[in-house]
């Protein structure tokens, strides 16, 4: 990895542009989701910009999101086996979504 790059793990809280209706009368509409991203970038700001560019269905709520730096050595072998090249600039991992309902 180039010396000016760092790995970042971003747990992004995405608030959907359009809520997803409930499947039945017992549930509330889906308002958003959490997703994890592995990103290599020169700064936290650049890492956030890369993730923002990936999100098309909503806006990231940064106060509800979490960012960690220099994460590769702390990730599980399962995640690393499903990751791209973390030595290069860009997004190298994207998880599934954990949905949350409208409050």
Q: What is the pLDDT of residue 103?
A: 82
Q: What is the mean pLDDT of residues 28-47?
A: 96
Task: Give this prediction's pTM.
Answer: 0.91
Contact 79, 9 (CB under 8 A): no
- Check whether 78 has a pLDDT greater than 80: yes
Distance CA(30)–CA(42), nearest Å, equals: 34
Residue 71 vs residue 94, higher pLDDT:
94
- Tokens 């549930």 correspond to 27
Q: What is the pLDDT of residue 23?
A: 80
Distance CA(61)–CA(35), nearest Å, equals: 12
Distance CA(62)–CA(96), nearest Å, equals: 19
Distance CA(90)–CA(78), nearest Å, equals: 20
CA 54, 76, 43, 64 torsion-angle sign: positive
Distance CA(100)–CA(92), nearest Å, equals: 25
Q: What is the mean pLDDT of residues 48-65?
A: 98
Share of residues in the chain with pLDDT > 70 (%): 100
- Check whether 40 has a pLDDT greater than 80: yes
Angle at 16 between CA 15 and CA 20, to 5 degrees: 130
């Amino acid at each position: 990895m180039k010396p000016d790059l760092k790995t970042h793990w971003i747990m992004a809280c995405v608030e959907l542009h359009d809520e997803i209706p409930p499947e039945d009368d017992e549930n509330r509409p889906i308002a958003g989701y959490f997703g994890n991203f592995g990103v290599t970038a020169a700064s936290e700001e650049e890492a956030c910009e890369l993730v923002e560019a990936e999100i098309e269905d909503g806006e990231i709520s940064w106060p509800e999101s979490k960012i960690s730096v220099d994460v590769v050595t702390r990730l599980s072998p399962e995640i690393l086996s499903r990751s791209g090249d973390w030595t290069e600039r860009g997004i190298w991992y994207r998880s599934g979504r954990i949905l949350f309902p409208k409050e």
